[in-house]
Structure formats: C-alpha cells, structure tokens
C-alpha cells in the first residue's frame, strides 16, 4: 500500500523537452559545424525566431559595428559562442514562459532573472569576464527555481513566499518544502536539454562555488553568479538592509569591490533591465527603482530603531519594577527575620543552665533552638536544623518550633513529644523536607536529663576533666517516616557540660581553609580555658569558623550548651 | 544539566554524581519524581556522589515518600563513603533501602 500523495510526487516528466530549433542549433555548435548551408536551412525552418535573434544581435546589446543579415554572418562577427548563448536565452524563456504554473507569476520570475543577468553582466565587465557568458548564465541560473514548481505543481501557492526570501534562506526553504534544491532541478533540466557542456557547471554550483572543481573560468563565473543572486535579491527580498549589507560584504570578499562601487552597480540595475527587456522581448512588470529600495530599507531601519527604543523603554520599566519588587521583598524578608528572631528564646543569663547562639548564613535561618521552663521547674530544650535553605526552611523551622512549644507543655517525655511532632510534619510533608532535632528535658533540682537525638549531629558530653562522650542520633530526622520511634537516653548531667550543635558548626571552615569537623570541634572544646563563662565558650567555638565579623558562613551555625 | 538515566530489567537507574547541593538537588528531585510518576521502580546510584547536603538528602526523602505512597520500589545503591557518612549521621541509613550494587537490589525483588 502506498502512502504517497500523488500531488506530492515530483513529476520529472513535467520538464518540457528541448525544442527542435535549439537541439539542431546546439548540435551544430557542439560538433563545431560551421557551414553556410546548415544555418541557412535552420533560418528557413524558423524564420520568426531567427528574425528576433538577428534583431537582438543588431541592437546595442551586442554592440556590433556592422549590421548582420544572416545567422552565419552573425556567428562570424559575434562569435559562435555568443550567438549560441543568445539562442539559448530566447528559447528557454520562450519555452518555459509558455507554461502556466498555478500560483507562479512567470513575468515576475523573468524580471528577477533579468536582474540576475544584468548584475552578472555588470560584474563580469568589471572583472574582465565575457559579459555575454555572464549574462546568459545569470539569466538561466535560477531556472531551476521555476522548475521546482513545475515538478511539484501543488506547491505554487508558496512561490510568492519564496520570492521574498534572501538567497540563502530560500535555498534552505527549498530543501524543506520540495526536498530538493533549485540546482538539483536545474540539473534535471540540463540533462534533458543536454546543456552539460555549455553553462551547466557554474550555474549548478552558484550556491557552493568553493565546492566546484572546474576551470578557473567556471569558478570565476560561479562567483559572479553568486554575487548576482544577492544583488537581484536587493530588489525583492523583504529584509532589504540585510541583503544590501550582505551584497557589500560578498562583493568585497569575492572581488574586493569597494562599497560605493557595489551601490553604483545596484543602482544601475533598473535601467539595465529596462533596456534589456526591450531588446530581448522579455516583458517586465514591476520596474522597481533603486531609490524605492533605499526608501523601503530606510523605513525598515527606522522601524527597527523604533522597536529598539521601545525595547529600551520596556527594559527600563522592567528594571524599575524589579527594584520596586526587590524593595518590597526586602521589607518582607526583614519582617520574616524579625519574626524568626522572636522565636528564639531570650538569653536567661549565666545562672540559667542553657545558653544558645544562632547565626544565619543568609537572611533567613533553617536552624533553631529553644528552651522553656515547665511549671514544676524542669526545662524543655531543643536544637534543630531544617533541610534546605531560604523561606521554605524558615517556615518549616517556625512550624516545628511552635509545635514543640505547644505540645511540649502537655507531653512529659521528649521521645513521645518528637513522635507527635513527626506525625504532624509527615502529614504535611512538602518537597521531602525534614528536620534534624535534638531535644531533651532537664531537671535542675535532680540533674536528671532525658535526651533524644533525631538525625542531628552527635551531642558532646564533656566532663570537667575534658573527657567527652558522643551522644549519636538514635532515630532518623522528623518528617521522613510516620511510624518512627524516638528512643530516649536518660542520664545524670552532674557537673558535665552538654554541647549540642547543628552541622553548620562541624562543616564550617577554619582559618586554614579546612572544615572544622567533629574532631576539630572536640579539640576546640577540650582546650577551652576552665574559667570561661558559657557565653564566652560558645563565642570561642564560633570564632573557629567565623574568623571576623565579615567572614561568610558556609551554613547556619547553632550551638546550645547545657550545664548545671 | 541532567543526571544519567539507564534502565535495567525494568528498573530505572538514576546516577547522581559530584556535589548534590542546593544548586543541583532540584535537578535530582525533578528526575526522581518524574521517574516515579511514570510508575517506574527506581534505583538511585550514589556511587559517584562526592558531597550531598540536606537539600540533596531531601530529594531522596521525597522520592522515598512518594514511592512508599504509590507502592513502588525505591532504593539507593552503591552509596559512596561521603554520602553514607551523611546518611549514617542522620540515621537515614536505617530508613532508605540500601544495596551495594544494582544487581543486589534487583535480586531482592
């Protein structure tokens, strides 16, 4: 079963056969037959055509000194090659323009072709290349473009769109729409008309001259055609500024043409094609003047400029808006920071068993600590760290801290308290955020301490002699899994000191650039002078990772110290 | 930036690499969730992780929670020393199913 839509097929058979008149003439040319009788015979067979051909040869276009009456005479004076080229231009135009292709305006197509032809001829004249050859190749170089529509008759509606594009864009658009390029279509044509030996090589390669492996003449001609393609596009492409600039660039690169010379050539095109169209009998329709091209280009330029100004204005407005929002956000952040600080407990002085510090690495902290005294004199305390940073972490921190205070007044056992908070956090879990928490209840009267460590770095219990014991986490953090059990350890604090801290302390950088680590913290605490107050000791620890007021912290730092 | 994803015996394997911190954990999170939302069983390979912070661990926790809820298989494999230290410290090594190799994880099913 075939899925090919008949209308989408390339109809190679749509390419018209070479007319007899051209085939016979080309045969004579290729075989170098130059006898009067053969030409006379041809002239008698096609009197109208040769009448036209002789009229062109006798016109200013050919610039002959003597008027000629016969083909044989024309060949003698103008050269076989030039006459053959002219014949080809006339036959190809006559044959193809007789075919109606829906959607394609053939008159405009040939007008565009004439622009290429006169452009090629003008460049050829400047660089000393055969002007007639350049003209012929220029006229025929994009015949393949017309053939594409002849081969795919249902695509004719796109012709006007194609015409507006500059050469490179059109070339890639051809590949997308037709699955072939105009040079490939032209190749089919050259095969059918047996033009391979005449102008095929440079014409077929004018979009990729650097790939052409041929004579110096072919390569030069190819480059001329490439430039001519862009020069003609100045008159029809939409983005005129771009095409004019590209023309200047290409002509400068290919032939070291100065900028003013390029513009002179471009400006000369309209008059040249007016004359040529009359001589060759190829009618034209649009007669676009260069002043019109420049006018449109300038309008486009001022439009672009206006767009640019508008863009600048919008950008300024956007920046103002951003500043306004940033100011608002900073105000909100300031408020949030204030609220967050208010969640930390007040400093109770040296006689209270707990001393804490919280320094945030950013505006808002994900760490917290808290303590409060129950009616019977026991003290509940906690130190926690929320995963992640920023507003999310701060909000979860506030929630956990509030739950701890609220539920702590009713639940005596820290393990049970954490289990309750955990259930609450799991129920409203978002983005997998969790809270590591170390919490306990301390009775100053008896020294009894119940402690739970849920995913927090170990607490360090120091004896007055500087010996330490690590109290590691016995349960995962809060907010991970609902049915978690939080085991308590019970001990007598006695004269010992319990240091609790967030991972920002052990992960902080020391002055030498290394992380402090647990062993570093251990050493720091063990070597603290005995006479220091709890506040001073905490400050000394912080100094290990915050060397001066300006040095940035890697993470929030929180320390809570419990001692009798 | 995207972490490598492979498929083995019908299991997706996402291989986290380097430093899975605040900058890269959103990428890990997105890939893990996308995979689980496509109802695939998932193994997260941590053998090439050099550092993972709490936001990175949170991405794993979220994946773990979603898989539990949707009754899908979710496990960590080949956990590097650096990553294991973090997981162990927080006792999360007791929460996540952890296997030495992908094959060992597959064999458990």
Q: Strand A448-454 to strand A459-462: parallel, antiparallel, or no bridges (unpaired)?
A: unpaired
- What's the pLDDT score for residue A533? 93
DSSP for residue A345: P
Closest approach of A336 to chain B, Cα-based (Å): 21
Nearest CA-CA distance, residue B89 and chain A, Å: 6
Q: Say which of B22, B59, B64 has its CB closest to residue A389.
A: B22
- In this predicted structure, which of A34-38, A160-164, B14-18, B84-88 has the lowest mean pLDDT? A34-38
* Cβ(A74)–Cβ(A52) below 8 Å: no
Give me the residues paired with residue A85 across strands: none
Provide the pLDDT for residue A526.
Answer: 92
pLDDT, average across residues A430-447: 94
Q: In whole angstroms, what is the distance from residue A446 CA to residue A481 CA?
A: 35
| B67 vs A552: which has the higher pLDDT | B67
- Reading the block at residue A153, the tokens are 């008759």
Candidates A72, A78, A68, A86; CA nearest to A276 is A86
Q: Is A254 helix (H, G, I), strand (E, B) or coil?
A: helix
pLDDT level of residue A12 (50, 70, 90 thresholds) = low
Q: Is A434 on the interface with B (CB under 8 A)?
A: yes
- Domain B5-104, CATH 3.40.50.970 — does that match? no
Whether B94 and chain A come into contact, CB under 8 Å, resolves to yes
CB of A432 less than 8 A from some CB of B: yes
Q: Which chain A residue is nearest to residue B54, measuring alpha carbons?
A: A387
> How many residues comprise chain B?
109
Distance between CA atoms of residues A478 and A91, nearest Å:
90
Strands, DSSP E only, in A291-423?
A: 354-359, 367-373, 379-386
A365 touches chain B (CB under 8 A): no
Q: Which two tokens stand for residue A70?
A: 């016969």
Residues shown for chain A: 564
pLDDT at position A3: 31
Please provide the DSSP assignment of A482-525 as one string.
TT-----EEEE-TT-EEEEE-HHHHTSB-TTSSB-HHHHHHHHH
Whether the pLDDT of residue B23 is over 50: the answer is yes
Minimal CA–CA distance to A279: which of A63, A23, A21?
Answer: A63
- Residues A220-232 have a mean pLDDT of 92
User: From B66, which residue of chain A is nearest by alpha-carbon distance?
Assistant: A432
Chain B residues with beta carbon closer than 8 angstroms to that of A477: 90-92
Transcribe B80-92 into DSSP letters. Answer: -HHHHHHHHHTTG
Cβ contact A227:A123 at 8 Å: yes
Sign of CA dihedral A469, A455, A414, A345: positive
Does A5 have pLDDT greater than 60?
no
Residues 6+ apart with CB under 8 A from B90: A436, A455, A456, A473, A476, A477, B57
- Cα A184 from Cα A368, distance rounded (Å): 74
Is the Cα dihedral A513, A519, A523, A525 positive or negative?
positive
Q: Between B58, B63, B64, which is nearest A433 by CB? A: B58
Q: Does A502 touch chain B (CB under 8 A)?
A: no
Q: How confident is the model at residue B42 (pLDDT cuts 50, 70, 90)?
A: very high
Contacts of residue A330, Cβ cutoff 8 Å, sequence gap at least 6: none
CA distance A450 to A443: 9
User: Reduced to 3 states, what is the DSSP secondary structure of residue B40?
Assistant: coil
Would you call B90 and A476 a contact, using CB atoms and an 8 Å cutoff? yes
In chain A, pLDDT over 90 holds for what percent of residues? 37
Cα gap A388→A153, rounded to integer Å: 64
Yes or no: say if B102 and B78 are a contact pair by the CB < 8 Å rule. Answer: yes
- Residue with token string 């330029």: A301
- Strand ranges in A47-182 using DSSP code E only, listed in sequence order: none
- Report the C-alpha gap between A407 and A154 in whole angstroms: 79
Residue A164: C-alpha distances to residues A240, A273, A342 (Å): 10, 20, 69
Q: What is the mean pLDDT of residues A129-146?
A: 90
Min distance A328 CA to chain B CA atoms (Å): 25
The DSSP output letter for B43 is: E
Determine the pLDDT at residue A1: 30
CATH topology of domain A103-288: Hypothetical protein af1432 (1.10.3210)
**Is residue A488 within 8 Å of residue A512, measured between CB atoms?**
no
**pLDDT digits over A518-550, tens only?**
999 999 999 998 889 999 999 999 999 887 766
Q: Beta-carbon neighbour count of residue A321 at 10 Å?
A: 10
> Which pLDDT band holds residue A355 (cuts at 50, 70, 90)?
very high
Provide the pLDDT for residue A357.
94
The candidate with the shortest Cα–Cα distance to A284, out of A342, A345, A235, is A235
Token pair in block for residue A216: 């110096």
- Fold for the domain defined by A348-563: Phosphatase 2c; domain 1 (3.60.40)
Residue A476 touches partner B, C-beta closer than 8 Å: yes
The SS3 assignment for A387 reads coil
Does the CB of A486 have a partner CB in chain B at under 8 Å?
A: no
pLDDT tops 60 at residue A83: yes
* 3-class SS of residue A293: helix
Q: What is the mean pLDDT of chain A?
A: 87
Average pLDDT over residues A70-83: 86
Give CA–CA dist A522/A237, Å, rounded.
Answer: 77
Cβ-contact A471, A489 below 8 angstroms: yes
Q: Is the pLDDT of residue A162 over 70?
A: yes
- What residues pair up with A441 in beta bridges, in sequence order? A380, A450
- pLDDT over 70 for what percent of chain A? 96
pLDDT attached to residue A48? 87
pLDDT for position A536 = 94
Q: CA-CA distance, A277 to A56, in Å (whole number)?
A: 11
pLDDT band at A390 (very low <50, low <70, confident <90, very high): confident
Return the exposure string of B50-80: e unless at least 16 CB atoms fall within 10 Å of the residue's CB, then b. eebbbbbbbbbbbbbbbbeeeebebbbbbbb
Residues 6+ apart with CB under 8 A from A338: none
- Model confidence at A2, pLDDT cuts 50, 70, 90, reads very low
Helices marked H in A344-469 — which ranges? 390-408, 414-427
pLDDT digits (tens, 9 = 90+) for A250-264: 999 989 988 888 888
In Å, how far are A24, A99, A306, A340 from A16, measured between CA atoms?
16, 9, 50, 86
Residue A89, both tokens? 């231009």
How high is the pLDDT of residue A490?
Answer: 96
Partner residue opposite A432 with nearest CB, options B65, B90, B94: B65
Domain boundaries of chain B, sorted by first residue: 5-104
Order of strands across the sheet with A489-492? A367-373, A379-386, A435-442, A448-454, A489-492
Give how far A493 is from chain B: nearest CA, Å: 24
């Amino acid at each position: 079963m075939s899925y090919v839509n008949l209308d989408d097929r390339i109809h190679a058979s749509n390419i018209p056969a070479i007319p007899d008149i051209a085939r016979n003439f080309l045969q004579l040319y290729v075989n170098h037959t130059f006898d009067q009788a053969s030409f006379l015979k041809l002239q008698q067979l096609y009197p109208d055509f040769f009448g036209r051909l002789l009229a062109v040869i006798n016109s200013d276009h050919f610039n002959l000194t003597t008027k000629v009456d016969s083909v044989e005479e024309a060949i003698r004076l103008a050269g076989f090659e030039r006459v053959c080229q002219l014949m080809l231009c006339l036959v190809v135009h006559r044959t193809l323009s007789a075919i109606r292709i829906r959607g394609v305006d053939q008159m405009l197509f040939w007008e565009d072709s004439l622009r290429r032809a006169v452009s090629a001829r003008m460049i050829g004249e400047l660089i000393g290349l055969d002007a007639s050859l350049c003209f012929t190749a220029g006229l025929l170089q994009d015949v393949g473009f017309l053939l594409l529509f002849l081969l795919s008759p249902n695509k004719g509606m796109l012709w006007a769109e194609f015409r507006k594009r500059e050469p490179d864009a059109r070339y890639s658009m051809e590949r997308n729409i037709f699955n072939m390029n105009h040079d490939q279509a032209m190749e089919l044509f050259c095969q059918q008309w047996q033009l391979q030996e005449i102008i095929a090589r440079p014409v077929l390669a004018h979009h990729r001259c650097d790939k052409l492996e041929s004579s110096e003449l072919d390569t030069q001609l190819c480059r001329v055609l490439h430039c001519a393609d862009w020069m003609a596009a100045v008159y029809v492409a939409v983005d005129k500024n771009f095409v004019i600039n590209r023309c200047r660039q290409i002509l400068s690169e290919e032939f070291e043409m100065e900028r003013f010379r390029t513009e002179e050539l471009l400006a000369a095109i309209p008059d040249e094609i007016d004359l040529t169209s009359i001589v060759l009998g190829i009618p034209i329709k649009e007669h676009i003047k260069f002043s019109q091209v420049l006018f449109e280009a300038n309008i486009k330029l001022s439009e672009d400029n206006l767009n640019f100004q508008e863009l600048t204005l919008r950008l300024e407005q956007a920046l103002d808006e951003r500043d306004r929002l940033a100011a608002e956000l900073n105000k909100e952040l300031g408020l949030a920071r204030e609220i967050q600080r208010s969640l930390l407990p007040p400093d109770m002085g040296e006689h209270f068993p707990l001393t804490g510090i919280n320094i945030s690495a950013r505006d808002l902290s994900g760490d917290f600590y808290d303590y409060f005294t129950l009616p019977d004199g026991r003290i509940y305390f906690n130190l926690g760290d929320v995963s992640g940073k920023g507003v999310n972490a701060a909000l979860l921190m506030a929630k956990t801290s509030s739950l701890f205070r609220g539920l702590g007044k009713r639940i005596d056992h820290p393990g049970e308290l954490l289990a309750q908070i955990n259930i609450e956090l799991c129920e409203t879990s978002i983005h997998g955020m969790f809270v590591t928490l170390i919490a306990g209840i301390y009775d100053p009267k008896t020294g009894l301490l119940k402690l739970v460590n849920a995913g927090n770095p170990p607490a360090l219990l120091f004896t007055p002699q500087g010996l330490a014991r690590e109290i590691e986490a016995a349960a995962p953090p809060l907010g991970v899994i609902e049915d978690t059990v939080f085991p308590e350890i019970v001990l007598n604090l006695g004269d010992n000191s319990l240091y609790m801290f967030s991972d920002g302390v052990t992960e902080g950088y020391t002055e030498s650039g290394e992380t402090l680590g647990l062993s570093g913290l251990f050493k720091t605490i063990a070597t603290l002078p005995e006479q220091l107050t709890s506040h001073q000791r905490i400050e000394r620890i912080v100094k290990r990772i915050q060397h001066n007021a300006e040095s940035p912290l890697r993470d929030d730092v929180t320390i809570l110290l419990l001692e009798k | 930036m995207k972490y490598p994803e492979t498929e083995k015996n019908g299991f997706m394997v996402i291989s986290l690499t380097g430093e899975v911190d605040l900058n890269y954990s959103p990428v890990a999170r997105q890939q893990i969730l996308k995979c689980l939302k496509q109802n695939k069983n998932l193994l997260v390979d941590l053998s090439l992780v050099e550092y993972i912070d709490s936001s990175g661990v949170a991405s794993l926790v979220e994946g773990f929670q979603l898989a539990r809820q949707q009754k899908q298989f979710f496990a960590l494999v080949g956990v590097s020393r650096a990553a294991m230290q973090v997981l162990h410290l927080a006792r999360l090594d007791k929460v996540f199913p952890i296997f030495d190799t992908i094959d060992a994880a597959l064999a458990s099913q």
